[in-house]
Amino acid sequence: QVQLVESGGGSVQVGGSLRLSCAASGDIHSRNCMGWFRQPPGKKREGVAVLNTGTGTTVYADSVKGRFTIAQGNAKDAAYLRLNSLKPEDTGMYYCAARRAFCGLYSLSAGSFDYWGQGTQVTVSS
């Protein structure tokens, strides 16, 4: 089992920045891939960024490339998402996720992750 707890969401204006944190605990072997997903109001959950905790390799959604950065803490105990140049379309509930299988180019699918946090809200206003 893996427990994930997100924090750091909030309300910002267009162009602002936020840093989301995800505290991870439990089975370390089930955290080989960690990721961030978001669910805009009235829409499906979508992948934002994923990271292989062993190698540090990352994959980003095209919509956030160059603006968001995913990073990990020591010993796979945390994941972070830096959000820069925020836009109104970035608004949504942001979730941290983890799984045993390593991340690949097609790992931005929410259905492939086993463990989820409760989410943290990000609201971007113009």
**d(C-alpha 87, C-alpha 14), whole Å:** 5
Q: What is the pLDDT of residues 47-89, one digit of tens each?
A: 999 999 989 999 999 999 999 999 998 777 999 999 999 999 9
Alpha carbons 106 and 74: distance in angstroms, whole number: 25
- Residue-wise pLDDT for 7-25, tens only, equals 999 999 999 999 999 999 9
Q: For residue 104, what pLDDT is reported?
A: 86
Q: What is the pLDDT of residue 106?
A: 81
